[in-house]
Amino acid sequence: MSAFMKGKADFLELGDNNAVCFECGRKFKASTMRKHWQGYWVCFAHWEPRQTQDFVRNVPDIITPPWTQPPADVFAPLCSPNGSSAVPGGMEPGCIVPGWISPMYY
């Protein structure tokens, strides 16, 4: 036997070529091959359509409310007498009065 045996696709058909199936490796005429959805060419037995679940799209999830407004109550920090005194370590930011010491320290 020779290494180059003739198969079913080894005949002359003008304008047609021989091609090898990507899946099984057998030789077919190029006109009988079909393009797989992944881009390669296969014989009729190995061709399969693309899964329909590949095309499923979900409904967009809108997580923002249709309208918003700022809260009615705004927190305003109050300064305590000890926090507004000019005593190191007992001051509160934004409340200190330079040179003033609360009578509570005496």
Residue 28: helix, strand or coil by DSSP? Answer: strand
The answer to pTM > 0.75 is: no
Is 7 in contact with 24 (CB distance < 8 Å)? Answer: no
Is the pLDDT at 43 greater than 90? The verdict is yes
Predicted pLDDT of residue 35: 94
- In tens, the pLDDT along 74-101 reads 666 777 777 777 777 777 777 777 777 7
| Phi, psi of 52, deg, nearest 5 | -65, -25
Structure token digits, residue 51: 């899964």
Q: How far is the C-alpha of 94 from the C-alpha of 43, rounded, in Å?
A: 81
Predicted pLDDT of residue 74: 67
Lowest mean pLDDT among 11-20, 33-42, 58-67, 77-86: 77-86
DSSP letter at 19 equals E
Alpha helices in the chain (DSSP H): none
